[in-house]
Structure 1
Amino acid sequence: MEINLNIAEKISEKCLEKAEKINVPMIISIVGDDGRLIIFKKMDGALPVSIKISQAKAYTAYALKMRSDKLGELSQPGKMLYGIDTVCDNIVLFGGGFPLKVNGEVIGALGVSGGSVEEDMSVAEAGVKFFNNRYTNSL
């Protein structure tokens, strides 16, 4: 299975629904199994800085096959990935980036930016939950 435009569109719509529900303008980025952008959605009023951040969160989750908030934990001083953000471009150490997995294999990733870290994660989780319920349970 791969994340195609149709699937990315559906995931992003679930994220946008959640962002509208909490009344926070967000930017949604989804990358495929090559780490390249498939879809980008920008709500009216979203912070311009969130354009790059949402894409970097998606890339981080894809490239390291883990949530960006988990990477943040693993990259604190004294931890095994300390300094990763200084040697690799486009790495984000805070929440909002989630890998999209099927049978344990990362087939893409989602990045959300525009609100607080908690809001970004909540919106991203809505997209991941939809993906998991719709696509991974039917395989």
Structure 2
Amino acid sequence: MGVTLEQAEKAVRAAKEKAQELNLKMNIAVVDAGANLVAFARMDGAWLGSVDIAIRKARTARFFDMPTGDLGQASQPGGSLYNIEHSNGGLITFPGGIPIKNGSGEIVGAIGVSGSTVENDHTVADAGVKALSS
């Protein structure tokens, strides 16, 4: 089964709390196992241009079942997946998207965060994932 609305909202809340702790304004998206948007939040003042990026990070993490930063490593010039970001209607291959697993280790969705540095995006997304494992 994919991530539920209740779980997606819990992940968004945890990610928002982490963003507030870091004094950041973020866009946060959670998709289900089919890469369909389940929950989204745009914090007050978050960049409009990051709305699409957050959603694409979540979808990319689910499409390839790995953090988007890991996919980015393989998509550098000369890499085995060079130019993959042009597939699937456009992917995001820098940090901020992380798969969400259930208690059995099965991937049930993903979270994507955008609005700051890629390091901060990943940190905030990780807070959302960790909220579902506790």
TM range (shorter): over 0.9
Distance 2:7 2:87 in 1: 33
1:120 maps to what in 2? Answer: 121
**TM-score normalised to the size of structure 2?**
0.94
User: Percent of pairs identical after alignment?
Assistant: 42
Amino acid at match of 1:7: Q
Match of 1:109 in 2: 110
Give the corresponding residue for 1:95.
95
Which residues of 2 match residues 64-75 of structure 1 at below 5 A?
A: 64-75=64-75
The CA RMSD over aligned residues, in Å, is: 1.1
Given that 1:15 and 1:124 are in contact with CA atoms closer than 8 Å, whether structure 2 keeps it comes out as yes
TM-score of the superposition, structure 1-length normalised?
0.91
- SS of residue paired to 1:91: coil
Alignment partners' CA distance in 2, 1:56 and 1:90: 7
Match of 1:137 in 2: none
The secondary structure found in structure 1 opposite 2:126 is helix
Structure 1: gaps spanning 5 or more residues? 134-139
> Does structure 2 retain, via aligned residues, the 8 Å contact 1:75–1:82?
yes
Shift of 1:74: 0.9
Distance 1:75 1:88 in 2: 14
Alpha-carbon distance between aligned partners in 1 of 2:35 and 2:2, rounded to the nearest angstrom: 12
